[in-house]
Homo-oligomer: A and B are copies of this chain.
């Protein structure tokens, strides 16, 4: 008796079930994100492809870095995270892969990957050079399709990153803006503004030190709320957001519109 079967999609080099996330500035009007998926599925028909966001502002590497950092940490170990916000496409910037204890990060070497790998153990970084894992023809304007999609798909098939090219140790990194802490004060800034208009800061509140005041522009908030609905409709709130950072919100309204805030704006916490 010979029972011969292929355990569909498990533990094979080709067609392995694994997750690939996409973070891009491609938008959704054009077929760009769909094309990336077509290329991936041609190499790994079992890939589970998840959009993290395609609405990063065009060429805004910082915003892409934030979205990838905030999103990638919620995916299972081994996930392949492809991020393409790539103003230097076709030029001298290197295409790279960073392997960490959480998964793989694939994209241009312009810092877009750097915040996501900040709190991980990085085991290896390579420059993608091996044409065997790229499309046959490489355009100078769409490496998302011709290099990053193919490499992500091959990684999801179980390819070792050593096959992709030489190891490097000098990737471009963007410093995540650190708040300054003086006695009794934390000086931070707005680092991201979400779809609801919530202002995400770079401030993590110290445990055990009650907050006296949060100041943004001319507005002062005198306590940290536990939930949005503690405030009256339209009231300015300070709250620890879902990323763990302090956020400024307006109950049932859009804080960005209400107080005219912008990325980089100073936020002061008085303990």
Residue of B nearest to A47 (CB): B48
Contact between chains at B10 and A71 (CB < 8 Å)? no
User: 0/1 per residue, A34-45, Cβ < 8 Å to B?
Assistant: 110111011001
Contact of A140 among B39, B90, B227 (CB under 8 A): B227
Interface set, chain A 1-32, CB cutoff 8 A to B = 1-10, 17, 19, 21, 23, 25-32
Contact between chains at A75 and B38 (CB < 8 Å)? yes
Most interface-central of A10, A74, A247, A254 (chain B CB within 10 A): A74
Count of chain A residues near B, Cβ 8 A:
75
Q: How far is the CB of A121 from chain B (nearest CB, A)?
A: 19
A-B contact pairs, 14 of them (CB 8 A): A1-B1, A2-B3, A4-B4, A8-B9, A23-B31, A27-B195, A30-B53, A34-B53, A34-B74, A58-B196, A89-B228, A90-B226, A140-B227, A141-B239
CA distance A239 to B140 in the complex (A): 9
CA distance A48 to B15 in the complex (A): 14
A226 and B30 in contact, given A21-B38, A58-B196 (Cβ under 8 angstroms): no
Contact between chains at B71 and A252 (CB < 8 Å)? no
Q: Would you list the 6 A-B pairs with minimal beta carbon distance, nearest first?
A: A90-B227, A31-B71, A27-B195, A142-B242, A91-B229, A38-B75
